[in-house]
Chain A
Amino acid sequence: MSISGQASAPAAGLPQRWTGNLAPHRLTILLLALLVPTHAAFAHPWIDVFGPSRPLYTLGFGGIVAGVDSTGRVGTLLWPHSGAFNQIAPADPANATPSGCQWGIAGGGKADWLSGAAWKTEKAGPPSPESAILEFVSSCAALKATATQTLLVSPKNGLMAARIQIDASEPLGAISWFQQFAPVPFDRLPLALPVALPQASCGFASFFDSQRARLYQFRPAHPGRQDWDHARSLQESHATPAEWSSFQDGAWCATAFSTREITCQFGDGEKRPHAESAALGQVGVTVTVLPASGRSPNRAEVFIAFGRNRTEADKALDTALKQGFDALQSETQAEYAALLSPASPRLSDNADKQDRALRDLRVLFAALDSKSGTVVAAPAAQPPLCATWPELSAWTALAWHLSGFTDQAARQLQFFYAPLLAKDSRTGTTPALPELLRTDTASALPSFVHNPASTAWIVLAVVQLARLSPPDSVPANALSNYNELVLPAMQYLRRWSTPSTGGPPPGFDPLPVRDVSSVSNELLYYLGVQGSFDMATITKQPPHPDWQSWQRELEALLRFRMVNEPDGWDLSPTLSAWAAMTLSPADPLRKAAVRTPSGLVALGDCPIPTLPPATTTILATPDTFDSALDLVALFHPTPHKP
């Protein structure tokens, strides 16, 4: 929508009258001066919504997801799936104490952590592109030692396991393990704000069961004053482990080692070798694994399991301890290999791009919530972003489809069935589609953060997947997608469109952090209407009678911009790429000029952004958005010509 000299219609429902006089007021000027954006754009619209994101190596697939940094320190762990809450307490930059979960070497009354300056990482990441595990090799010149860490996550068993092997020319101190879990029950009310959960919401108590040589860190559901007072009295009275199970279910984290010869020290300095100990709140725990005799004195293995209560966590831990690390690793690898098998034909077609595809698929599978069928944006990052949005879902569905995971692509689209078909009980209309959705379709942002145009991405994804099907056949789920996604999405877009122009209303833009009118939203509307026509043709359904006039209105808006904005359009690279991929060759909009870092480019020539090639052995995995784009570029390098 443009207000350059013509009457403009606000969003439906708001009264307005053109006064013909925009003589500004003093207050106006000062307020508007406050709101002029001054900063460069985000790399992706929503990736940094919770704060500058530090990507970590991804560990896991379809269940628990962990993010590991280049030193082997686990910084993020989402349980029970990628859309859930981070169970690890965030690091405090002002505090020099260790954070996350990591190995170290005890000596001189303190531990030398592998994330510290004394250790240098030689190698990090999966040992091979199709590997389900992560391996880190670090060396310490002062100790003349090399440490090899192996980490794995078993989605089947709902646990994480880590092994360290130290090779040193001289005897070393005992191996130490640090962990600071701050459990969060997965069924707590999600916070619809782009901020991390505060300390009050995470963690509750930790205690050590010396008889079973297990460490527990947990939080009951909705703890109140009574629970905290009870926990305090248990701590002060050095209660038995059984007494700690008196709290109601919530989130429990149980840790055990392959040896029972361990001592435990809590963050408050209390050290009770082989005796019960406990601490309240978010507390770091250091476990010292006493040197074992035998062939591998410098090896240690830890198993961490989760559950809603102690019994569940213990059960998973018992299974893992019985199985052993090597068997668990083999089982996990076999599961992962089976998961990747549908991609084999595609990978064999692109042998020299195989590593890249496997890296991207690794990220997508880690981000996948197997229950809902959607991926989330950056589960392994710090801080994690465990939500999705329509554009991410569109690119991911396309990436799944092109990689050979057609069922997964269908499930990604079906994720939006529920939000689009929902009805408000009072008004009977579809509630506003959230900008960021959790895996249970709840909103990750307040409802006033809303851009109706983003819904068009759902239509674009449905259409593009249908177009990629063999020309002679109508995809099996095309008709259901048309009825349950395309039609509701188009009704939604129409309901929010401006009555006089058919264009979108001002929609939320993360760059200025407020509603704006933009050519991106108009183009999305246009592509959506055009796509719905195509979808009607593919499914042999009559198009809605309103669509033709609507398409003409939108085309007029965009043509007006083409003529009157010679400096080019400001579009995101991904929207430009999708438009280039889907606009017909004869569409005049392909000639629209788009501003890019390298100058003006015709919309029809905009490429799909790709990731830079991996040039070093140490490269943190990209986020889901980047990986999806990369997969599409890999398997669909030329713009599609319908």
Chain B
Amino acid sequence: MRLRTAAWFGLLLAALLLVGAGFADRQLKTATHPGFLPEGMPLYAYTPDLPLSWLRLSNTALSKNLSDEARPVLHDMELSVRRLTGIRPTPARWRVWLGGSAAAATDGRNWILCAHPGLAARAASWVFAGGAFPGAQLHQAWRGGYLLLSSSSALIEKALAAPPVTLDLPESLPPDALVMELRTPLRARLTLTPGGQLPIEARIMRGAGFAPRSSGPWKAPVLSGNPAAILSLPDAQSAEQLATLLKDISLPDFSDGLFGGLVTRWSLNRLPQFLSATGPLDAPMAFAFYDLSTDSGAPLPRLAAACAAREGFSKFLLAPQNANKLLPYEWNGCAGWMFPLFGDQFSLYGFQRDDTYYLATREPLAAALASASQTSRPDIEDDAVITLDWKRTAPTIMEGANWAAAHELLPETNQKDLDAAFIPVMRALSKCGTLRVAGRWTAEGLLLNGVLADGSQQPEHKQ
């Protein structure tokens, strides 16, 4: 009798201990802020509940495509984590060892992760004298209940000395949301909600100097021919503000030599001012990128642009000497012209069709634009619309990357490295449908909302 009572008492005590431990574990895992990360890193990422994000992401089409196309890549990543931590990574195991909250940063070469673990990691750390995980390649440190893991001891030291990281988090952030904050070359924040079509909200910020658009709905010119990406803007103000926003992105310096001469002689440095002219060019416009070819020995894009016509055009006449440089062309009854640049691989072909002016860099593309059937165009309330067809964009990116790798232009990366990781990921992305985002100007910059991968195929551009 006494034995039975003692057994029941023992069970009750164990249950109480278990509940207590669970409660303590849960309390320990509760983070009051994202954590400690070094200051001045180019890219930060944060999620309030990484295992939940992970689980929901694994149910998306993107994840399925990655599993199909990039299984060896995922396997290698899993193996790397296992070698570093001794644990096979799954959402459940992550929650047990590292909790929910996770903040990370990278400078492109090294990474650092900050988590708020519970009992398991703390117990392991106590047992193994400071290190929650085995392995000399993983640098670890504790600070105020947060566990820092990094590939670099220098980053650990910086994080130990830094104040709590301040991230521009959206209000009412869902627990499974993933937030990425880019600080250089421009300041931007991307919030991804795992699930479905992967809805995203992005904010590109530049401080001040922007003005929300005040005019009404507009119709974007249609650029047919299956472009890989289209950017549509309602007016010159939007074009100018977009150019201002992106001008911090530094392009390769071709200031010398033939390319340096090209920028000057073609006055490309004055292009933003032309596009933002508030005169007759202040009209809805669209820019399309179709593909990239490296057959000539260098990457050469196929581009097109369209702009709605405006009145008062006739007073702008070419000077006689400039008119002499044009070659007359005609497509489908639309009078046009050709301006030679680089033979038939990249020249300017222009024409007007109804109330729209078109420009293309290849003659067959101009012919296709002139002959395309006219579709109805809905009204657009937003200030910018971006559409990106992954099926056509991913192969273009692959072609460019392969060309760069073959010419040894990528740092510490050769063709074999590309084939092992980057190409499979691109193949997975090519099956993800279309990216669609719409933007609105705010006083600080551009706010974009849309979906990352709608899973659909895009035969014709539609607004």
A-side residues, CB < 8 A to B, are 2-4, 7-8, 10-11, 13-39, 48-52, 188-189, 191-195, 198-201, 222-226, 228, 443, 445-450, 506, 508, 510-516
Q: Is the CB of B257 within 8 A of A3?
A: no
Q: What is the distance, in angstroms, from B40's C-beta to the closest C-beta of chain A?
A: 21
- Of the candidate stretches B119-127, B163-171, B266-274, B450-458, the one touching chain A is B266-274
Q: Closest residue of chain A to B363, judged by CB?
A: A14
B346 & A448 in contact (Cβ 8 Å cutoff): yes
The smallest C-beta distance from A178 to any residue of chain B, in angstroms, reads 25
Number of interface residues of B (CB under 8 A): 71
- Asked if B340 and A33 make an inter-chain contact with CB atoms under 8 angstroms apart, the answer reads no
A17 touches B329 (CB 8 A): yes
A516–B322 Cα distance when bound, in Å, is: 12
Complex Cα distance, B19 from A103, in Å, reads 76
Give Cα distance in the complex from A32 to B413, angstroms: 41
- The CA-CA distance from A187 to B186 in the complex, in Å, is 39
Q: In the assembled complex, which residues on chain A have CB atoms less than 8 Å from the CB atom of B414?
A: 222-225
Q: By the criterion CB–CB under 8 Å, are B413 and A27 in contact?
A: no
B268 touches A8 (CB 8 A): no
Q: Which of A13, A18, A449, A508 contacts B328 (CB 8 A)?
A: A18
19 contacts between A and B (CB under 8 A): A3-B324, A4-B324, A19-B329, A19-B330, A19-B335, A25-B352, A25-B357, A29-B316, A30-B274, A32-B325, A50-B257, A188-B407, A189-B407, A195-B254, A223-B412, A224-B414, A225-B414, A510-B261, A515-B347
Contact present for B265 and A10 (CB under 8 Å):
no
A13 nearest CB neighbor, chain B only:
B344
Residue in contact with A28 in the complex, picked from B254, B262, B297, B350, CB distance below 8 Å: B350
Q: Is there contact, CB below 8 Å, between B348 and A448? A: no
> Complex formed: what's the CA distance from A2 to B327 in Å?
10
Interface status of B107 (Cβ within 8 A of chain A):
no
CB contacts (< 8 Å) of B344 on chain A: these are 11, 13-14
Which 6 A-B pairs rank lowest in CB-CB distance, beginning with the nearest?
A: A51-B256, A192-B297, A224-B414, A448-B342, A515-B340, A446-B298
Contact of B329 with A25 in the complex, beta carbons under 8 Å: no
Query: Quick one: which of A3, A24, A27, A449 contacts B342, CB cutoff 8 A?
Result: A449
In the complex, the chain A residue whose C-beta lies closest to that of B347 is A515
Residues of A within 8 Å of B157, CB to CB, are: none
Q: Within 8 Å of chain A (Cβ to Cβ): is B281?
A: yes
Any A CB within 8 A of the CB of B136: no
Q: How far is the CB of B404 from chain A (nearest CB, A)?
A: 9
Task: Tell me if A450 and B343 are in contact (CB < 8 A).
Answer: yes
A449 CA to B259 CA, complexed, in Å: 12
Contact, CB under 8 Å: A22 / B411: no
If A16-B328, A27-B307, A448-B342 touch, does A36 touch B313 (CB 8 Å cutoff)?
A: no
Tell me if A49 and B257 are in contact (CB < 8 A).
yes
- Smallest distance from the beta carbon of B134 to chain A beta carbons, Å? 20
**Min C-beta distance of A587 to chain B, whole Å:** 28
A25/B350 in contact, CB under 8 A: yes
Q: Is B248 part of the contact surface with A, judged by Cβ < 8 Å?
A: no
Chain B residues within an 8 Å CB radius of A224: 412-417
Min Cβ gap A57→B in Å is 22
Residues of chain B within 8 A (CB-CB) of A30 are: 274, 277, 281
The residues of A that contact B409 with a CB separation of less than 8 Å are 191, 198, 200-201
Residue in contact with B257 in the complex, picked from A15, A24, A51, CB distance below 8 Å: A51
**Is B337 located at the chain interface by the 8 A CB criterion?**
yes
Contact of B262 among A25, A36, A445, A513 (CB under 8 A): A513
**A195 B313 Cβ-Cβ under 8 A:** no
A194 to B262, CA, bound (A): 11
B413 adjacent to A225 (CB under 8 Å): yes
Q: Are B325 and A3 in contact (CB under 8 A)?
A: yes
A34 and B268 contact, CB distance less than 8 A: yes
Q: Does B300 contact A (CB under 8 A)?
A: yes
With a cutoff of 8 Å between Cβ atoms, the chain B residues found around residue A48 in the complex are 257
Contacts A18-B328, A31-B339 given: A513-B261 contact, CB under 8 Å? Answer: yes
In the complex, which of the residues A34, A51, A228 contacts B274, with contact meaning CB atoms closer than 8 Å?
A34
Residues of A within 8 A of B317 (CB): 23-24, 29
With known contacts A195-B257, A513-B258, A448–B296 Cβ distance under 8 A: yes
- Establish whether residues B316 and A448, one from each chain, have CB atoms under 8 Å apart when the complex forms: no
Bound complex: CA A193 to CA B258 (Å): 9
> Once bound together, how far apart are the Cα atoms of A274 and B409, in whole Å?
36
A35 near B266 (CB under 8 angstroms)? yes
Inter-chain contact A514/B341, CB cutoff 8 Å:
yes
**Contact A27–B257 (Cβ < 8 Å):** no
Of the candidates B267, B327, B339, the one having the most CB atoms from chain A within 10 angstroms of its own CB is B327
Q: In the complex, A506→B257 CA distance in Å?
A: 22
Tell me if B443 is interfacial: C-beta within 8 Å of chain A.
Answer: no
CA distance A191 to B280 in the complex (A): 42
A303 to B: closest C-beta gap in Å: 29
CB distance from B338 to the nearest CB of A (A): 7
| A189-B407, A506-B343 known, 5 other contacts, Cβ within 8 Å | A3-B324, A24-B337, A200-B410, A222-B415, A508-B343
Docked Cα-Cα span, A514 to B409, in Å, equals 26
> Are A10's CB and B296's CB within 8 A?
no
Residues of A within 8 Å of B342, CB to CB, are: 446, 448-450, 508, 514-515
CB under 8 Å from chain A, chain B span 218-261: 252, 254, 256-261
Find the residue from A28, A511, A515 having the highest chain B CB count within 10 A.
Answer: A28
Q: A16-B327, A448-B296 are in contact. Are A514 and B267 (CB under 8 A)?
A: no
Please give, as numbers and ranges, the residues of chain B lying within 8 Å of A21 by CB-CB distance: 335
B129 in the interface (beta carbon within 8 A)? no
**In the complex the two chains form, is B270's CB within 8 Å of A34's CB?**
yes
Alpha-carbon distance A200/B345, docked complex (angstroms) = 29
Q: Is the CB of A28 within 8 A of B326?
A: yes
Please measure, in the bound complex, the distance between the C-alpha atom of A485 and the C-alpha atom of B422, giving whole angstroms. 46
Q: How far is the CB of A434 from chain B (nearest CB, A)?
A: 9
Residue on A nearest B357 in the bound complex, by CB: A27
Q: In the complex, A450 Cα to B345 Cα: how many Å?
A: 11
B3 within 8 A of A: no
A26 touching B343 by the CB < 8 A rule? no
